[in-house]
């Protein structure tokens, strides 16, 4: 039985860092200051988004800004690279394009 919690597990540096919150697809996600967006989202969730060219979901790959697997949407429409972006209090992120965007082929609400 697989745990329903996030994919990443904190193994160090959990003691002294202030807590933050952000939102992902409208749900509140807790984070620690110094987390990347990727760390924050995947300690709480199993994946970031759906792949553009396949049925699988994606959760980052290289963590050094090279593979481009971890781009997520912000509510204003500009995407960010989750592995290279530090979290900020109150960030509003999405796993898919804002509904106002033209169809990108990404997963859409039905």
Partner 1 sequence: MTRMLIIGAGPAGIRAAETLVAVGLRPQIVDEGERAGGQIYRRPPPGFTRPPRALYGSEADKAAALHRTFDGLVRDGQVDHHPRATVFALSDGVAHIVQEGTVRRIAYDRLILATGASDRLAPVPGWQAPGVYSLGAMQIALKAQGVALGRELVLAGSGPLLTLVAHQLRKAGANVAAVLDTAPLSSQAAGGAQMALARPRVTLRGLAVRAGLGRLYHPGATLERIEADADGPTALHWRDAAGRARVSSCDAVALGWHLRAETHLADLAGARFEWSPIWHQWLPVTDAMGRAGDGLYLAGDGLRLLGADGAEIAGRLAATACLRDMSLPAPNPGKDLRQLARMAWFAKGVARAFPWPADMVRNLPGETMLCRCEGVTVADARSALALAGPEANRLKALARVGMGRCQGRYCQLAGAEIVADETRRAPCETGRLRAQPPVRPVPVSAFLQADPDI
State the residues that interact with partner 1 by CB under 8 A.
2-3, 7-17, 33-36, 39, 43, 46-48, 51-54, 56-69, 71, 78-79, 84, 86
DSSP 25-54: TTEEEEEETT-BHHHHHHTT-S-SEE-SSS
Rounded (5°) CA angle 91-97-99: 105
Alpha carbons 90 and 94: distance in angstroms, whole number: 13
Nearer to partner 1, 1 or 103 (CB): 1
Q: Shortest Cβ distance from residue 55 to partner 1 (Å)?
A: 8
Nearer to partner 1, 8 or 24 (CB): 8
Nearer to partner 1, 78 or 99 (CB): 78
């Amino acid at each position: 039985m697989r745990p329903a919690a996030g994919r990443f597990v904190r193994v160090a540096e959990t003691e002294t860092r202030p807590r933050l919150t952000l939102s992902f697809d409208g749900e509140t996600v807790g984070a620690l200051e110094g987390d990347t967006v990727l760390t924050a989202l995947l300690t709480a969730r199993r994946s970031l988004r759906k792949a553009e060219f396949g049925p699988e979901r994606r959760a980052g790959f290289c963590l050094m800004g090279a593979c481009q697997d971890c781009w997520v949407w912000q509510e204003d429409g500009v995407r960010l690279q989750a592995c290279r972006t530090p979290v900020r209090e109150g960030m509003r992120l999405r796993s898919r394009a804002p509904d106002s965007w033209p169809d990108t082929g990404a997963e859409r609400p039905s």
